């Protein structure tokens, strides 16, 4: 009973802290140097219908935004801003009362909206995740620590790319991926044999899957794969693609490795004299149950990422074959490489864990 009360107290305390942090962030305009305007009222001035050559219809809306400055020397002064946006809000935004926006001055007493102030929403979203972690009994400290540490590693990766451009992209990606995997597993599992088993399994499976896939790509001469279709045409095409694949493959393999290894470790703890062959067969059985769902998840991700581009190609009169070839070749290739990694992870993890876990005692 005391444990239950303590848990409810922790959840309520987390909710209160998140609400306080969200409210405090909403009213922190004085901490910013850029002018911030709090919108008091919005009035629509006009709405014009537009149709392009492909019969796509949209409306251009002009609205008057009335608000007051929340910081700088103009704090409290009223301001009126004209905002124009498309009803689809593809490249612009419709503003509403009580929003806070960053503005810039273009001429005497004339301002334009640059972007929305979203820090309060971000704090609330992060806080909501923390509250859910409290409710679901996750190892919150270790999880948050691993995420924060990996964000630092990724920030260093980005800074290195800025300085070195993309010349050493693949090398930096490999180093970053190894660090991210090691940190995630080390923080969650600790410096134990469990960490060694999980990291070795993930590293071997990812390496073998990538090398095997690259060999197949070279063997086929990259036939039918349009590396030049990477987002924004960023070069080197192949290096950018492989870097994306490394992160995606490693993520799903880490998940699969943790599932298999933790199950086999628990089995060893329950049955101290279980044989290595039994552990290996059990790992294979567990892995077979994971392969299908993981590959399907990746398939849905590929579809979700490319659905808008597929629709754009089709709506512009391209054939289905040409559309799929130009839009899904990279996604399907990445899916196949990930699928190879997912399948290889099952025997690799089962073998490594079955060999190393034999010395663990109940």
Query: How far is C-alpha 25 from the geometric centre of its chain's CA atoms?
Result: 24
179-182-187-191 Cα dihedral, nearest 10 degrees: -130
143 & 111 share domain: no
**Considering the domain boundaries, does residue 229 fall inside one?**
yes
Distance, CA of 45 to CA of 89 (rounded, Å): 17
Q: What is the DSSP string of 271-306?
A: -TT--HHHHHHHHHHHHHHHHHHHHHHHHHHHHHHH
**pLDDT reported for residue 108:** 72
179 & 266 share domain: yes
Of 118, 119, 49, 114, the residue nearest 83 (C-alpha): 114
**Considering the domain boundaries, does residue 8 fall inside one?**
no
- pTM to 2 decimals? 0.66
**Considering the domain boundaries, does residue 223 fall inside one?**
yes
199 & 334 share domain: yes
Q: Please say whether the beta carbons of 150 and 184 come within 8 A.
A: yes
For 185, other C-beta atoms within 10 Å of its C-beta total 24
Average pLDDT of the chain to the nearest whole number: 81
Segment 305-310 long-range contacts (CB within 8 Å, at least 24 positions apart): 305/331, 306/331
More confident residue, 170 or 205: 205
109 & 149 share domain: no
For 117, other C-beta atoms within 10 Å of its C-beta total 20
Proportion of the chain above pLDDT 70, given as a percent: 88
Over residues 260-283, the pLDDT tens digits come to 888 888 888 777 777 878 888 888
92 & 218 share domain: no
Over residues 114-143, the pLDDT tens digits come to 889 999 999 999 888 877 777 766 555 666
- pLDDT classification of 236: cutoffs 50, 70, 90: low
> Of 81, 116, 151, which one is at a domain's C-terminal end?
116
**pLDDT reported for residue 271:** 76
**pLDDT reported for residue 101:** 92
249 & 348 share domain: yes
100 & 161 share domain: no
| Number of domains observed in the structure of the chain | 2
110 & 186 share domain: no
Torsion angles phi and psi, residue 341, rounded to 5: -65, -40
- pLDDT classification of 41: cutoffs 50, 70, 90: very high
Least confident of 56-60, 73-77, 233-237, 268-272: 233-237
* DSSP-derived 3-state class of residue 6: helix
**Considering the domain boundaries, does residue 122 fall inside one?**
no
> Of 71, 101, 116, which one is at a domain's C-terminal end?
116
Residue 229 is classified by DSSP as G
309: left (phi over 0), alpha (psi -120 to 50) or beta: alpha
**pLDDT reported for residue 136:** 67
**pLDDT reported for residue 63:** 92
Over residues 325-359, the pLDDT tens digits come to 777 777 788 788 888 888 888 888 888 888 877 55
**pLDDT reported for residue 229:** 58
**pLDDT reported for residue 131:** 79
Distance, CA of 316 to CA of 280 (rounded, Å): 53
254 & 321 share domain: yes
**pLDDT reported for residue 39:** 92
**pLDDT reported for residue 235:** 60
CA separation (Å) from 35 to 111, 120, 264, 299? 10, 17, 58, 44
79 & 153 share domain: no
Q: Tell me the average pLDDT across 307-314.
A: 80
- pLDDT classification of 64: cutoffs 50, 70, 90: very high
**pLDDT reported for residue 37:** 92
**Considering the domain boundaries, does residue 101 fall inside one?**
yes
Where in the sequence is the domain holding 69, given as residue range(s)?
A: 33-116
Of 115, 50, 120, the residue nearest 87 (C-alpha): 50
**Considering the domain boundaries, does residue 20 fall inside one?**
no
Least confident of 41-45, 98-102, 355-359: 355-359
- pLDDT classification of 362: cutoffs 50, 70, 90: very low
111 & 182 share domain: no
**Considering the domain boundaries, does residue 125 fall inside one?**
no
196 & 337 share domain: yes
Q: Please say whether the beta carbons of 248 and 180 come within 8 A.
A: no
CA separation (Å) from 306 to 302, 311, 313, 360? 6, 9, 11, 46
Least confident of 40-44, 172-176, 248-252, 316-320: 316-320
> Of 116, 148, 169, which one is at a domain's C-terminal end?
116
- pLDDT classification of 228: cutoffs 50, 70, 90: low
**Considering the domain boundaries, does residue 252 fall inside one?**
yes
Q: What is the DSSP string of 28-94?
A: -GGG-SS-EEEEEEEEEEEEEEEE-TT--EEEEEEEEEEEEE-SSTTTT-EEEEEEEEETT-SSS--
Residue 361 has pLDDT above 50, yes or no: no
**pLDDT reported for residue 187:** 80
Residues near 305 by beta carbon (within 8 Å), at least 6 away in sequence: 331
More confident residue, 100 or 360: 100
* DSSP-derived 3-state class of residue 234: coil
More confident residue, 9 or 285: 285
Residue ranges in the chain assigned as alpha helix (H): 2-26, 119-135, 140-164, 169-189, 193-219, 237-270, 276-315, 320-327, 329-356
- Residue 183 corresponds to which tokens in the numbers above? 């940190």
Distance, CA of 184 to CA of 190 (rounded, Å): 10
339: left (phi over 0), alpha (psi -120 to 50) or beta: alpha
Of 244, 231, 228, the residue nearest 309 (C-alpha): 231
């Amino acid at each position: 009973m005391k444990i239950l009360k303590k848990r409810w107290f922790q959840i309520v305390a987390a909710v209160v802290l998140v609400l306080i942090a969200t409210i405090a962030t909403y009213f922190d305009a004085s901490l910013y140097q850029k002018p911030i305007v709090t919108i008091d009222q919005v009035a629509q001035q006009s709405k014009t219908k537009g149709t392009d050559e492909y019969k796509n219809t949209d409306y251009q809306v002009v609205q008057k935004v009335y608000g007051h400055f929340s910081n700088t020397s103009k704090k409290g002064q009223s301001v009126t801003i004209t905002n124009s946006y498309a009803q689809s809000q593809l490249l612009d935004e419709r503003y509403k009362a009580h929003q806070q926006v960053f503005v810039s001055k273009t001429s005497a007493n004339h301002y334009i909206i640059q972007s929305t102030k979203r820090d309060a929403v971000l704090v609330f979203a992060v806080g909501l995740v923390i509250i859910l972690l409290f409710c679901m009994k996750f190892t919150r400290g270790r999880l948050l620590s691993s995420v924060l540490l990996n964000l630092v590693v990724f920030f260093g990766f980005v800074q290195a790319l800025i300085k070195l451009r993309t010349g050493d992209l693949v090398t930096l990606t490999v180093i970053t991926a190894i660090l991210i995997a090691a940190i995630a597993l080390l923080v969650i599992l600790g410096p134990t044999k469990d960490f060694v088993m999980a990291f070795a399994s993930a590293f071997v499976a990812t390496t073998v899957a990538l090398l095997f896939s690259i060999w197949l790509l070279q063997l086929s001469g990259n036939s039918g794969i349009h590396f030049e279709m990477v987002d924004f045409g960023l070069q080197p095409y192949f290096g950018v693609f492989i870097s994306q694949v490394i992160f995606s493959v490693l993520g799903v393999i880490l998940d699969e490795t943790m599932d298999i290894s933790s199950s086999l470790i628990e089995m060893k703890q329950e049955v101290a004299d279980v044989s290595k062959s039994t552990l290996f067969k059990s790992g294979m059985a567990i892995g077979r149950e994971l392969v299908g769902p993981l590959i399907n998840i990746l398939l849905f991700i590929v579809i979700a990422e490319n659905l808008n581009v597929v629709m754009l190609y089709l709506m512009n009169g391209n054939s289905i074959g040409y559309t799929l070839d130009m839009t899904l070749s990279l996604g399907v290739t990445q899916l196949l490489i990930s699928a190879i990694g997912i399948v290889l992870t099952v025997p690799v993890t089962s073998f490594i864990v079955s060999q190393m876990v034999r010395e663990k005692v109940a």
